[in-house]
Amino acid sequence: MFVAALIAVALGSATPPRPGEPGGRGIAVLAAKAVGVGADGRGVVDHPVVLVRDGKIETIGPAREVSIPAGYEVVDQGRRWLAPGFIDLHCHVAGGPGGLGDINDAVYLTNPELRAKATVVPGNPLLKRAVAGGVTSVLYIPGSATNMGGQGILLKTGLAKYEAMVIRDPGSLKLAQAGNPERWAVGVGRSLMNWNTRDTFERGVAYARLRDAAERGGEPVPRDIHWDIFPPLVHKDVQISTHTQRYQVVLATLTMVRKELGLDVFIDHGEWYGSKLAGYARDLGVDAILGPRAIDPPSPILDTDGKILGIAASYQEGGHPNIGFNTDSPVIPQEELPLQAAVGVRYGFDDSRMDSIRGLTIVPATTVGIAHRVGSLAPGKDADILVTSGDPVDPRSSVEVVWIEGTRVYDAEADGRIW
């Protein structure tokens, strides 16, 4: 340790890394219970110990089975719980409050080349609240004023520098199939929107295939930044996050984007009666990220015999195994993400197998292909850990401490409670 400190001083580093942080000594976090444990996030460990070093989780297990290596700082959280950091795949607040926030520029009806990352402001007040609410990773995406608002970016909310925040860039292509883009320019109907969206996709996919062929020795194809997002889409390195709600609109997502174009797509901002397609979505491998609305009221659109239906419950009853939750922050404040799961459970979503906490963590992580780094408490993953006063889904439980990649980014007692 002394040597390490000497080296740090010799290198002129202003502050040596704290325990848990990359380069620092390890920490051992003790608590009363850990949820969201293991590769599938269904595990629960009573009296857990989590060993963290270099920003990663080394081990998690019951205290009686894990021996704490010498030199590790012991952080005993007593009766509190541990949970993996929450993940929101529909976030608009990484640009902060005010006019210079997220992009929603209605340039063309489809704008696959625009990028939300141009507006990120690390450490803005809305991100600080997100962290205080336990939200550690977000998919920051453009608004829904047009059918393709542009490219989203996957970020860690609580880190101080942009380059440290980025989990993956691009994070997604934002598609909004209906509900908002009708307001573009002179007003457009669903037929034109669907046609134009499909046309954009077909051209983009064709470009990506030509670029692929060129790489394999075919005719050279010059780079066109307008279509930059399509090669990673076609290679399934990036997903399409789709604001899609009603039956017909979700059907268009499933048939057009997934079935016909073969692209990796997920339902984002899933609401209303789209749940009738839960089985079809499952069969096509399209995950369902739901919110911010959580109920379908009795209405003339679909006769429910007066039932108020939980949307997550309806997707679940339809046989969908991969259901997550989103806020559309700031429509619902970012820090209220866990409430989306709570009300989902209230209105019938079965959480007897930990699916409420999974819908806030491992499901969204898997949906966007970052489950190797985040989404559950498992060895080798980023040490994005929440300390809560109890069941992390319950609004009564407070978030007390948040680590992101082993860095303590929030401590309610030490820094003052934000949420």
Residues that bind another protein (CB under 8 A): 33-35, 37-38, 40, 42-46, 59-62, 65-66, 97, 125, 271-272, 279, 292-298, 305-308, 310-311, 313, 317-319, 321-322, 331-333, 336, 339, 342-343, 345-348, 351-354, 379, 393-398, 417-419
Residue type, 411: D
Nearest to 137 by CA among 158, 123, 117, 160: 158
Which residue, 13 or 67, is less far from another protein as judged by CB?
Answer: 67
198: left (phi over 0), alpha (psi -120 to 50) or beta: alpha
Nearer to another protein, 23 or 43 (CB): 43
d(CA 102, CA 81): 34
- By C-beta, is 41 or 149 nearer to another protein? 41
For the record, the structure tokens of 99 come out as 């006019």
- Full strand arrangement of the beta sheet holding 288-290: 86-91, 135-140, 148-156, 166-176, 239-243, 265-270, 288-290, 323-325
Q: What is the DSSP string of 134-199?
A: TEEEEEE---SSSSEEEEEEEEETT-SSHHHHEEEEEEEEEEE-SSSGGGSTT---HHHHHHHHHH
17/61 with CB nearer another protein: 61
26 Cβ contact partners less than 8 Å away, ≥ 6 residues apart: 19, 20, 51, 52, 53, 58, 69, 71, 72, 73
Q: Closer CB to another protein, residue 81 or residue 227?
A: 81
Nearest to 88 by CA among 187, 181, 171: 171
Nearest approach in angstroms of CB 29 to another protein is 15
Least gap, CB of 351 to another protein (angstroms):
8
- Measured from the CB atom, is 90 or 168 closer to another protein? 90
Please name which of 387, 407, 258, 269 lies closest in space to residue 325, comparing C-alpha atoms.
269
In the complex with another protein, the residue whose CB is nearer, 114 or 339, is: 339
Give the shortest CB-150-to-another protein separation in angstroms. Answer: 25
Judge contact between 58 and 27, C-beta under 8 A. no
Q: How far is the CB of 70 from another protein (least distance, A)?
A: 19
Query: What is the chain's Cα-based Rg?
Result: 22
From the CB of 134, what's the least distance to another protein, in Å?
11
Between 370 and 378, CB nearer to another protein: 378
Other beta carbons within 10 Å of 56: 17
**Bridge-partner residues for 88, per DSSP?**
138
Question: How near is the Cβ of 86 to another protein at its closest, in Å?
Answer: 15
Least distance from another protein to the Cβ atom of residue 194, Å: 25
Minimal distance in Å, beta carbon 196 to another protein? Answer: 28
